[in-house]
Amino acid sequence: MIQIRRKWYSYIFIILVIMFVVQNPLQTILPPMRYMDELFAACIVPLIIIRGIKNNFYCTVSLRLLLVIVFLFLFVICGIYSNLTLRYQPVQTALADVYLNLKFFLAIGAGYLLFIDSDINYVFCDSWKWVKKISVLLFCLCVCDLVFHIFPSEMRYGLRVVYLFYSVHTYLVAACVFLCALLLRLYEYYKDAVFPYLCMLGFVTICTLRMKAIGAIICIFFIYFIICRKRKEFGVITWITIGLAMSLVASRQFLYYFYSMGTESARAALTQVSFRIARDYFPLGCGFGTFASAFSNQPYSKVYYLYHIQNVWGISKNYSSFISDTFWPMILGQNGYLGLIFYIVVLVILFSFFFELRKYNACSFASALTGILYLLISSTSESAFVNTMAVSLAFLLGVHLADLKNIKDRR
């Protein structure tokens, strides 16, 4: 019976891993797949009910978790208050955007509750063969695409950009980082056997020719060699080295978007205007679904007209593909300086849970740190914590929290 139970958890984990990796390609064939990340985050509700029934509705909440809940609530209140007073967007749009902003945190909770009673070591070990197969598949497709030009692409720096069957490079990069994070966790069981697959995924990621992707790979290999292999913590010099490497890699991109293009760039326009909004609507912002959010064009927010950026390419009413191409400007514009502070406090407290892993399991810490660093890197130039692929990393972070809880209970 125990073996059957372990297998079921293993099957659920493997299915979720595969579905998160192929969600973007599949949604072009099966449109309902685009809601998979939202549905997974929503699973926290039935999981809480099931957990409550199992424990006779008795639970204990740590001070840190309580603080996370309180500051998230305050963050939401900042935006909702502005929605109710300014009324720039309909209630349904504001509520949809609230869920979008909470999705990452809900997915962490869903991952935690789903695997808190599982044999996590068995689950990870059983996923090894599938992670290998997916990594080899992505690498082979990448090489074939570079040689035979199988998939649609574009040129960048005089080189062919690899998208594979993903709609944009962001989803391919996030899938590779997700798999790399899994491989770092699997180092505990398979040691240097994971290295070739890390290299394959690193190659695919670099072939997307995106600066943040290259920065993420630099971080991942630092984590692999220092934390996994040498079992050391990052020292000051290592953090400085990573920071400098990332700065050098990203500098050209930053200068292009924020200086060469000026306000013609959607990212630059959104960033500059977010500070003006935070000043004009101090300290609460202009409300959920009003600025730099995927829902700010459902309907098109009047804020873009108020700040005269409705004609910026990628932000306009007729073409809004880059309307949610930033993260921190969205938080600052919609929730103001107060909401931004609350959100940062939530992340700091939440990440303190994962940094606690370094005392118990270096590989779990390495895996969690990979997800955290990638989200922080991507938050500089995409929607990051509210992005679809952020949910896959949140799911894995939730599993790591369940692992941490089990380790503590055994001690």
pLDDT tens digit sequence for 300-314: 999 999 999 999 988
What's the predicted TM-score (pTM) here? Answer: 0.93
Cβ-based burial of 236 (10 A; exposed 0-12, middle 13-18, buried ≥19): exposed
Tell me the three state secondary structure of residue 322: coil
Average pLDDT, the chain: 90
Distance (Å, rounded) from C-alpha 118 to C-alpha 109? 15
pLDDT in tens, 53-87: 888 877 777 889 999 999 999 999 999 999 999 99
pLDDT tens, residue by residue, 275-325: 999 999 999 999 999 999 999 998 999 999 999 999 998 899 888 888 988
Confidence of residue 254 (pLDDT cuts 50, 70, 90): low
46 preceded by a cis bond (ω within 30 of 0): no
Residue 253 clears pLDDT 80, i.e. is over it = no
Helical axes 120-148 vs 390-410, angle rounded to 10°: 150
Of 239 and 369, the one with more pLDDT? 369
User: Distance between CA 107 and CA 154 in Å, rounded?
Assistant: 34
Assess whether pLDDT exceeds 60 at residue 257: no
State which H helix or E strand residue 392 sits in.
helix 390-410
- Residue 180: pLDDT band by 50, 70, 90 thresholds? very high
State pLDDT tens for residues 1-43.
667 788 999 999 999 999 999 999 999 888 888 899 999 999 9
Of 331 and 230, the one with more pLDDT: 331
- Backbone CA torsion sign across 295, 300, 304, 306: negative
Q: Note if the bond before 299 is cis, omega within 30 degrees.
A: yes
